[in-house]
Structure 1
Amino acid sequence: SSWRLDAASETLCEHFGVTTLEPFGCEDAPLAARAAGALMAYLQSTQIASLRQITTLSTYSTARFMSLDAQTRRNLELVESTSRGGGTTLVQTLDATRSPLGGRLLRQWVGQPLLERDDIEQRYDGVEWLVEDALLRSQLRDQLRGIGDIERIINRVVNTQAQPREMASLGESLRRLPGLADLVGRSGPPPIVRDIPVVDRAADEIGRALAADPPSLLSHGGVIRSGYSAELDGLRELLARDRTYIATLEQRERERTGIKGLKVGFNKVFGYYIEISNASREPVPDDYLRKQTLVNAERYITPDLKEAEQRVLAAEERISQAEADAWGRLNAVVVGEAVRIRDAARAVATLDVLAGLAEIAAQRGYTRPSLVNDDLLEIDGGRHPIVDANMPRGEFVPNDVRLSDADGRIAILTGPNMAGKSTYLRQVALIVLLAQVGSFVPATRARIGVVDRIFTRIGAQDDLASGQSTFMVEMLETAAILNHATSRSLVVLDEIGRGTSTYDGLAIATSIVEYIHNTPRLGCKTLFATHYHELTALADILPRVRNFRLDVLEAGDRVTFLHRVVPGGADRSYGVYVAQLAGMPKQVVRRASEVLTELERDAIATSTADHRRQSVLAQSATPVQLTMFGGVHPAVARLRELEVDGLSPLDALTTLYELQRLASDRDTG
């Protein structure tokens, strides 16, 4: 079987012409070698013409890259917008590349953020090099503009599938490489910028061989430039002479026969013919042979015309073959430079991405992040890259974020609808992602500890195909996050529990925050946006939880969303006001306000009654002998109420935090 290690190794060694796989780094990766060998065997039996493209073997490890699940890619709109009617994605926002090569590599970088700090810093160095030298950046981008997709074209050339205009594009691109190489070489580039190979032989050959404006298909003819093939030039000269003979035949025959209505024509069925209309009175010469009778005319041929036609057709066939031979010689020369052309494509792609990211950073005021070994996240003046790019400069309201052991690792975010909670959540996640892509970030300052994963649960959606409700999808995605996140992850959760009843949702949201906080494997940096204002009480119990809210300005009946994140919790959601902004009928809004007032009044009354009931019960309780220390400590009272046997380890830890708070409150009181 081709999957056996010995068979796979033999297949690979035979293809690459080596005796061992050690130079490719596969000696200690038997499973990878078996997979590669089996794939090579499959290609040998099904795609043998494509094997010429495979010129080397390299090991690949996903451990260098951050894994992004499908929901995170979707929620952060990396390559596909979730907006109705289509919107701007992160890739579109960042894409200032000038070549197809750069655009494709940028998409790859965004989809695979790096995990190694040194690799990220190298990309920062490349971007900074071009941010600081605006003239060089402009010159490089001008040169890059004319470079086509040489990576794909050379693959088509190797497979003998390239067409003349693709070859012309390749030649034009290769002729731009010396200018790029000179600009880069004179500027002292950082290590990430590779030397750009100059492929003069292929560029010169394409320039000598191809016509100035070649047709789209080789079969259309006229592909090869005069002077490249002596045989082809001779055949073209013969063809031109015979065509000139046929072109002047009509005038000569009119003069010889005196038939003014005589015409020479051509069709694919009969070839060349002489047509004489029935209105002509002059006699037809004896050497005219009738070929076809029409309603209003007769068509004839002559021996001389037929002989000239045979010469033309033979010449065209020979020219077609001669062009194919010349094209094959050109193809062989270019294939001989395929390795250097691919190396040039990779170098150009990297340079194009760095120049594009530098252009974005310079235009939009992005800054270089500072990567730290500590597990923290500090962003000053952060902006959402997509939203900020689609607004007039300076209008987006920037916000800070602090997540660390000292500042709290879990931020509970409350605030009104439409105030910007979801934008803020995505903004923080995107800034971290951009930092690990190797891009500068939309912030005035950023200190970031490298994260191993970014998890997001944002938005509501169902999965009708598999029969899953909105709430079930929400729970499945949240469960996946809790099961896979680590202490170095960044978790972004938006309104968990809203798909079910209020009490169920609040209970689930509370337990999730406690689980993230208390589980030793987790304790990760977390942003948790919610409309359950009761969750803000967790900040009084759990030491690494902090409350933040989106600020609003109330003036009478009007509410202004300031889109500014400030410490503290919100106590209102302003849902009725948002309904009014959405254009709800006035009677609906008015009735909603009345119901809301009644509900709030009932809640206050219930709370007051509960408080009075507890006071009466306390007064009627059996009196306890006072001690010299002023009565039972609240922490002791809480301990007496506990059912210890029913506590899980996580509940016990949460209770300990609560007891610690009670003890601190009593001491400070």
Structure 2
Amino acid sequence: MRQYRDAKEKHPDGILLFRLGDFYEIFFDDAKLAAPIMGVQLTSRPLGKTGRAPMCGVPHHAWQAYVGKLLHAGHKVVICDQIEAASKNKIVRRDVTRVLTPGTVVEDAYLEPSRHNYLVAAWSRGLEAGIAACEVSTGELLLCQLPKDRLQSELERLAPAELLSPPEIEEYRFDPVRGQQRLKDILGIAYPASVGAQDAPLAVGAVGVVLDYLKQNQTKVAPGSFTVRTYSPDATMPLDAATVRNLELPSLVQLIDRTSTPVGARQLGAWLGAPLRDAESIELRLAAVDELVDAPALQDRLRDVLKPVGDLERLVTRAAQGHATARELVGLRRSLEAIPAVQEALAACSALVTRELAGHVSTAPELASTLARALVEDPPPTLRQGGVIRHGYDADLDEISDASRGARDWIAKLEATERRRTGIRSLKVGFNKVFGYYIEVSHANTAHLPDDYVRKQTLTGGERYITPDLKQREAIVLSAQERIAARELEILHDLGTAVTEAAPALRASAHAIGMVDALLSLAVAAAEHGWRRPEVNAGLQLSIKGGRHPLVERGLPAGVFVANDLELDPDAAQIVILTGPNMAGKSTYLRQAAMIVLLAQCGSFVPAERARIGLADRVFTRVGAHDDISAGMSTFMVEMTETAYILNHATRSSLVIFDEVGRGTSTYDGVSIAQAVVEHLHDAPRLGCRTLFATHYHELTALAERLPRVRNQRVEVLEEGDSVRFLHRVVPGGADRSYGIHVAAVAGLPSGVIARARDVLGELERQRPLEPPDVQLGLPIEMTPDSVRKELEEIDPASLSPLEALQKLYQLRAKLTP
């Protein structure tokens, strides 16, 4: 167990898989942790005088499936393999050959084709934060420095497979000077300015942690291994978790995903997760989509030529990392051979964005030719079987193969040759794993054998012999398989080196092809769903004619969905208070407005007859009701927390969606909070943002009489006797009823309950008593003393000199800084 202990000491934080014969064994606490995750039996084995050691094992040929389960559970896995052939009377040498972590894997078995797999290092100092996001499987390394309060939303967008941050990682490791040195030593980047990080020291510190982690875990890192770039947090719109959930963003991505390649699918998801905030960039992307929408034949041609490209990005990285199989290298060759057709198809495009992307697509004919000459068309799944490299590509391999083939042919003919030579018609040539090849002769025929026959084994019915020539051929045959596998492995390594040299250009091509594929997907989706091109500008007006909810419309027969208009303007109709019955479509109307804005700022066509979108810096949504029991938060507390977040982070350029704020408490409390929120949105100098506010508190419609930028709208219904028909049409004015009892009847409540509810409602409407204030239960909240406020109140500004005032300001600011 010495080899096991040595490997475990080097990687104490990983689950160690230790190769013993045909199994990978796991021992001690690792076994107790891994067995239930992998779904295998936990057993034990004798361990000297100390008793029995817990253990479990998996077959070596199926290790990837089991390791995948451990990685998906968030564990680091260490593979300790045999690094020499087994031999008698000698302990086989073993060493760590792979270290796999959730954020550093590159194999398809552990990755989702349409999703990025980021290893992220993040930390903060003062009011700023730094992020380094490494996508090892695609060879991308992103740096970003951003305000600390935006760190969480950016991490939610990146959704890292693995996160490195304090206190798990010591903070001194994030030192920017240390990070700059790592960039220089490991990636050959001497100056952060060369990757746009001159003003992002915290991001540089984070990238040092990422590079250290990659080196520790045996990931191949060298100059050219990654495409490194710095991105600005202000270039895109951050989406908080509530907005992603409320707008069903994953379902929206699925609705418009018509990509032909995994690279394109990942790019499309990234675009929808980070809408643009620059009107010019949006319009350029829209122009590229528009060109494709108007050219169905070009759409079909591009889809045909893109599909064979496959996942070029990840194929290149696996080959460069030395983990590509022969079949994956053949797949890479086919991807490279498909690129010229892509270039030819893109030549027909005239949109500026598409032309620029076409300029980044380059071929690698020499590499494709080398791979074609080297590899057979359909290589076996493993190297043990041999036959991966074409005959004629490598002289040394051909010599080994030819010698093995000749020896096998000689042995195949040996039986007939020896029968002629000895005259013994019953002579046989055989093979077993103990003695190898042999010549078997019956006892009756042993008297007159040739002198070169050497007895090897005596049997009941005869004798087994060998000859020097037979042993020579046997040695060639038995060693050939191992020698062929070793030589083919060397050739595959050389091919990987050739891919590494071409990797930067190939990654750039793959990235450009992915963006073309994403543009094409937006165009195909727009044509399928009948969406229109929006007008996006730097203003703040939001005007939608005939807007539709894309996900709801998909679930309805064609033409059934009722489209609605919307007008919002911070200088006129800033806030729309939307009233109407339950089930009438208020939430759908709110969500579709936010979805149309997000789609437009992603560069997509939108589900509307016409849309003019003034840029939004953020989209905030407070929709639906749910609790957070794990955090000890009730439904109402979650609602208030989300509302507070919006009011504290929204700006004049934001789009805010509120759905039934205040419904989780008593009537007077709820109305009071809802009204105060509307007034704050209207009056606060920092806000004045475009707002849709749906509510069942009909008292709020009175706000339009005294707040000049508040407008009332309602979802129209048609009363037909005792029944109500929802028209789902939004019209000006406020509603005075919610028709909740009608909805309860539609839901199937017993008729007796419905009848009693109507009686109670009639009695209440005659009395019209809202709950008296003196019976409402207040929430005793004791505000935390604010030391900074107290100190400010005690300051006499008239008694301070300008210098003293400046010093005092810095002192107070320091107290606010964590």
TM-score (norm: length of structure 2): 0.67
Q: Which stretch has the larger CA shift, 116-125 or 444-453?
A: 116-125
CA distance in 1, matches of 2:522, 2:419: 71
Question: 550, 564, 567: which one pairs with 1:399?
Answer: 564
Partner SS for 1:146: helix
Tell me, in whole angstroms, the C-alpha distance in 1 between the residues paired with 2:435 and 2:550.
Answer: 68
**Map of 2:30 onto structure 1:** none
| 2:327 aligned partner | 165
Aligned-partner SS, 1:58 = strand
- SS where residue 230 of structure 2 aligns? coil
Q: 1:369 to 1:42 in 2, by over 3 A?
A: same
2:575 counterpart residue number: 410
Q: Which of these residues, 292, 301, 313, is aligned with residue 130 of structure 1?
A: 292
SS at match of 1:191: helix
Check whether the contact 1:273–1:299 (CA below 8 A) recurs between aligned residues.
no
* 1:226 CA drift (Å): 1.8
Give runs of aligned pairs for residues 523-534 of structure 1, distance below 5 A: 523-534=688-699
Q: Distance in 2 between matches of 1:452 and 1:362?
A: 28
| Aligned match of 2:365 | 200
Which letter does structure 2 place at the counterpart of 1:59?
A: T
1:75 aligns with 2:246: yes
Equivalent position of 2:755 in the other structure: 593
35-44 or 556-565, which moves further after superposition?
A: 35-44
What is aligned with 1:439?
A: 604
Select which of 128, 136, 142 maps to 2:304: 142
Q: Which deviates further from its counterpart, 12-21 or 590-599? A: 12-21
Alignment CA distance shift 1:77-1:13 (3 Å): same
Please tell me whether the aligned partners of residues 273 and 300 of structure 1 are also in contact (alpha carbons under 8 angstroms): yes
2:634 corresponds, among 469, 492, 502, to 469
Instruction: Indicate the residue corresponding to 1:243 in structure 2.
Output: 408
1:264 to 427, 430, 435: 430
In the alignment, the residues of structure 1 paired with residue 333 and residue 240 of structure 2 have an alpha-carbon distance, to the nearest angstrom, of 41
Q: CA deviation at 1:573?
A: 2.2
After TM superposition, give the deviation of residue 53 of structure 1 in Å.
5.0
Is the 1:174–1:199 contact (alpha carbons within 8 Å) kept by the matching residues of 2? Answer: yes
Deviation at 1:64, TM superposition (A): 0.6
Tell me the amino acid that sits aligned with residue 466 of structure 2: T
Q: Alpha-carbon deviation of 1:594? A: 2.8
Mapping 1:175-574, distance limit 5 Å: 175-192=337-354, 193-194=356-357, 195=359, 196-249=361-414, 257-259=424-426, 264-267=430-433, 269-272=434-437, 287=453, 289=455, 291=457, 300=464, 302-303=466-467, 305-405=470-570, 408-574=573-739
Match of 1:63 among 223, 234, 237: 234
Q: Distance in 2 between matches of 1:291 and 1:70?
A: 76
Aligned mates of 1:476, 1:607 — CA distance in 2: 30
Does residue 51 (structure 1) correspond to residue 222 (structure 2)? The answer is yes
What is the CA–CA distance in structure 2 between the aligned matches of 1:292 and 1:420, rounded to whole Å? 92
Distance 1:234 1:556, change over 3 A: same
Give, as a single letter, the amino acid of the residue that structure 1 aligns with 2:637.
M
Query: 1:373/1:17 Cα in 2 relative to 1: closer, same or farther (>3 Å)?
Result: closer
The one-letter code matched in structure 1 to 2:233 is T
**Equivalent residue pairs, number:** 590
Q: Deviations over 1:87-134 (max 9, x none)?
A: xx0110110000000000111111111111111112112111211222
> Which position in structure 1 is the counterpart of 2:262?
100
Deviates more, 1:549-558 or 1:350-359: 549-558
> Offset of 1:398 from its aligned partner?
1.2
Higher relative strand content: 2
Give 2:366's aligned amino acid.
Answer: R
Query: What amino acid sits opposite 2:241 in the alignment?
Result: A
Q: What code does the residue aligned with 2:330 have?
A: A
Residue 352 of structure 2: SS of its match in structure 1? coil
User: Which deviates the most, 151-160 or 568-577?
Assistant: 568-577
Match of 1:33 among 181, 184, 204: 204
1:5 Cα deviation (Å)?
Answer: 5.0
Q: 1:272-312 deviations in whole A, cap 9, x for unaligned?
A: 46789xxx997678658565979xx9994633554432110
- The amino acid that maps onto 2:323 is Q
- Name the residue aligned to 1:24: 195
Contact 1:13 1:21 in 2 (8 A): no
Distance change in 2, residues 1:397/1:247 (3 Å) = farther
Identity %: 46
Report the AA paired with residue 262 of structure 2: P
- 1:250 and 1:494 map into 2 onto residues whose CA distance is 89
- Provide runs of 4+ in structure 1 moved above 6 Å: 251-255
**Contact between 1:131 and 1:362, CA under 8 Å: does it hold in 2?**
yes
Counterpart secondary structure, 1:380: strand
Whose relative contact order is higher, 1 or 2, with alpha carbons under 8 Å and at least 6 apart? 1
Partner letter of residue 721 of structure 2? G
For residue 379 of structure 2, give the secondary structure of its aligned residue in structure 1. coil
Unaligned runs of 5+ in 2: 1-171, 773-818
Structure-2 separation of matches of 1:495 and 1:292: 94
SS of residue matched to 1:565: strand
Residue 722 of structure 2 aligns to which amino acid in structure 1?
A: D
- The residue type paired with residue 78 of structure 1 is L
Q: 1:5 to 1:456 in 2, by over 3 A?
A: closer
Q: Does 1:603 align with 2:765?
A: yes
**AA paired with 2:328?**
E
The CA deviation at 1:19 is: 5.3
Structure having the higher Rg: 1
Measure how far apart 1:140 and its partner are: 0.7
Rounded to whole Å, the distance in 2 between the matches of 1:282 and 1:429 is 96
- Report if the CA contact (8 A) 1:374-1:449 is conserved: yes
Contact 2:585 2:728 in 1 (8 A): yes
What is the Cα deviation at residue 343 of structure 1?
Answer: 0.9
Check 1:273–1:354 CA distance in 2 against 1; reply closer, same or farther (3 A cut). farther
Alignment partners' CA distance in 2, 1:547 and 1:205: 70
Distance in structure 1 (CA, Å) of the matches to 2:245 and 2:438: 67
AA matched with 2:389: I
Give yes or no for contact 1:576–1:593 (8 Å, CA) kept in 2. Answer: no
**Partner secondary structure for residue 638 of structure 2:** helix
Give the alignment's TM-score, normalised by structure 1: 0.82
Residues 540 and 614, structure 2, Cα contact 8 Å, conserved in 1: yes
Deviation per residue, 1:630-651 (Å, 9 max, x gap): xxxxxxxxxxxxxxxxxxxxxx
Q: Distance in 1 between matches of 2:340 and 2:244?
A: 39
Distance 1:274 1:369 in 2: 85
Structure number with the higher helix fraction is 1
Q: Tell me the distance in 2 between the aligned counterparts of 1:438 and 1:497.
A: 35
Taking structure 1 as reference, are residues 490 and 239 closer, same or farther at Cα in structure 2, changes over 3 Å only? same
Work out whether residues 224 and 504 of structure 2, in 8 Å CA contact, stay in contact via their aligned partners in 1. Answer: no
**1:190-227: per-residue Cα shift (whole Å, max 9, x none)?**
23541211111111111111101012233432111122
